[in-house]
């Protein structure tokens, strides 16, 4: 099986490269080989490679920067997924695409279901929603997997930033009124492998949109506290953490206060069991030892 993975320099693609070993021939392309902002180049690359499965792990993820780079965000997050969906359908192969909790405005008082109406607050969320809509418009075999608060030991993310700042500073203020589920890129990659294996065995569930996050919930402050606890347990310095509200930490893009995603349909329809976010964090940090 030939698998095309986009976004080589991203957290999820790196985790996929590790998790999908042995499933087939993996071709993972970064921006230098596949500029997702260039639709013609995307089409040409897919037609040349003729993969049996396409996994779009690439995205424009600079949430605040997207407010002033709308065209770039939409080119990568909206137009490119639609092009990949068209090419996948033409080849008769599945497309797996990752989306985000930012397609919701966070006003719901319970975890979001995958069929809840999206209402993004900013350009990043709008562009990701447009990507979902483009894929759905094409149809074909596809999985749109919405996730949240992705981190790993690779690249730039909340875990690595907190590990650095907690050891550099005496005191650190972290937002405590945004609730969600930290999701290890390794969790996403492992679940993706299971989905692919089910499909290969002819045991695929329904295609469509599903939620895939760590289980349980916390705030960014709670996530930072868990990271701090791991530092202390390792005998490393750790700053004193202070909870603050979102209004005390203004950003160009507004964030949803409720980023909780209900993943039960993925578990029942595809038989995917997702780990608690704290257990996944421990597994991630164990990889660093």
Q: Where in the sequence numbering do the catalytic residues fall?
A: 124
Strand order in the sheet with 208-211: 25-29, 2-6, 53-56, 95-100, 142-147, 208-211
Degrees (nearest 5) of the Cα angle 265, 192, 59?
100
H or E element, residue 211: strand 208-211
Q: What is the dihedral of CA 39, 43, 49, 54, to 10 degrees?
A: 70
H or E element, residue 170: none
**Count of residues making up the chain:** 289
Q: How far apart are CA 284 and CA 278, in angstroms?
A: 10
Q: How far apart are CA 216 and CA 209, in angstroms?
A: 20
Q: What is the CA radius of gyration of the chain?
A: 19
């Amino acid at each position: 099986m030939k698998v095309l993975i986009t976004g080589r320099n991203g957290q999820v693609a790196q985790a996929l490269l590790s998790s999908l070993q042995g499933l087939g021939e993996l071709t993972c392309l970064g921006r230098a080989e596949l500029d997702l902002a260039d639709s013609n180049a995307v089409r040409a690359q897919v037609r040349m490679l003729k993969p049996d499965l396409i996994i779009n792990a690439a995205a424009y993820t600079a949430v605040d920067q997207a407010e002033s780079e709308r065209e770039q965000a939409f080119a990568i997050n909206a137009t490119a997924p639609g092009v990949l969906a068209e090419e996948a359908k033409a080849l008769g192969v599945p497309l797996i695409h990752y989306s985000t909790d930012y397609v919701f405005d966070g006003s719901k008082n319970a975890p979001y279901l995958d069929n809840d109406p999206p209402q993004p607050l900013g350009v990043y969320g709008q562009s990701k929603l447009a990507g979902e809509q483009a894929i759905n418009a094409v149809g074909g075999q596809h999985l749109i997997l919405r996730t949240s608060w992705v981190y790993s030991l690779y690249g730039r993310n909340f875990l690595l930033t907190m590990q650095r700042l907690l050891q550099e500073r005496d005191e650190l203020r972290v937002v405590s009124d945004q609730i969600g589920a930290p999701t290890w890129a390794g969790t996403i990659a492992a679940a993706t492998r299971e989905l692919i294996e089910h499909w290969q065995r002819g045991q695929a569930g329904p295609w469509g949109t599903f939620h895939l996050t760590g289980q349980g919930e916390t705030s960014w402050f709670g996530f930072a506290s868990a990271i701090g606890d791991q530092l202390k347990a390792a005998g490393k310095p750790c700053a004193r953490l202070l909870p603050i509200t979102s209004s005390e930490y203004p950003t160009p893009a507004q964030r949803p206060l409720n980023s909780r995603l209900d993943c039960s349909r993925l578990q029942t329809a595809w038989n995917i069991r997702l780990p608690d976010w704290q257990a996944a964090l421990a597994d991630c940090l164990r990889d660093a030892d």
